[in-house]
Amino acid sequence: MGFLTDPNGFFMELLRKISDIVFCNVLFCVLCLPVITAGAAMTGLAAAMQLIAEDKEDEGRSALRVFWQNFKDHFLCATLLWLAGLLGIVFLLLYYHTVSSLEGGTQHLYRITFYALVLVFFAGYQYVFPMLARFGQGAGRTIRNAYLLSVAALPQTLLGLMIPAAAVVLTFFLRPERFGGAVFFWAVIGFGLTAYLTNLAYLRAFRKIEQSIE
């Protein structure tokens, strides 16, 4: 049973990672409560999950410290990106409302364009906060590079879209009668675990960028 108590063993390392994800998840939920701070919270969470995914916590940096540092350092830029994302969502909702008022074949045609716009929007926007945490560029450059990366790293882009979609379906839609349990899951670990898995997928694309810079 020594492998269960070995501080450098797999089991203890797994427990440390899970506890860090839980702590970061709770901090993320608290910092998202004002809504306006959600962008900075997503940046902090992305930075912390990248640290855990790369096993760099033994370099003197804790996940919570990295979370909070990125939250503060990128607060203004992340907030601007968050507001830009909200404007994009408002545009998509208005577009959907307009399409729904159409009739016949015209509506079907514009519904296809609506779904295409939704796919393009989220394909690029999913990279915004992880890239801000990773590279610390300005808002405009971060958005541009995020959408370029969504095309250049298509497998990671599709995987990044599928992971949160699958998590939402599994927790809320398969057993809708267990809504309370699903809310508890997301409040405790859901956001952190999803961010960990998606950032794990993004790392390969990010390393290619870093290698090209070098």
pLDDT tens digits, residue range 4-21? 555 666 777 888 999 999
Neighbours of 204 (CB within 10 A): 12
The reported pLDDT for the residue numbered 44 is 98
Mention every residue, 6+ apart, whose C-beta is less than 8 A from residue 83: 39
Looking at the chain, the whole-number percentage of residues with pLDDT higher than 70 is 92
Rounded CA separation 19/36 (Å): 27
| Residue 59 pLDDT grade (very low, low, confident, very high; cuts 50, 70, 90) | low
Report the domain count for the chain: 1
Q: How far apart are CA 99 and CA 168, in angstroms?
A: 26
Structural domain boundaries, residue 58 = 2-213
The phi, psi pair for 127, rounded to 5°, reads -85, -15
Confidence of residue 185 (pLDDT cuts 50, 70, 90): very high
d(CA 145, CA 9): 39
Q: Are 61 and 88 in contact (CB under 8 A)?
A: no
Q: Does residue 214 register a pLDDT over 80?
A: no
pTM reported for the whole predicted model: 0.91
Separation of alpha carbons 56 and 193, rounded Å:
17
| pLDDT tens-digit series, residues 27-57 | 999 999 999 999 999 999 999 999 999 988 7
Sign of the dihedral through C-alpha 76, 50, 31, 73: negative
Over residues 128-181, the pLDDT tens digits come to 999 999 999 899 999 999 999 999 999 999 999 999 999 999 998 878 788 899
3-state secondary structure of 192: helix
Give, in order, the Cα–Cα distances in Å from 101 to each of 27, 94, 97, 108, 180: 42, 11, 7, 11, 35
- At 212 the pLDDT is 67
Residue 194 banded pLDDT, cuts 50, 70, 90: very high
% of the chain exceeding 90 in pLDDT: 73
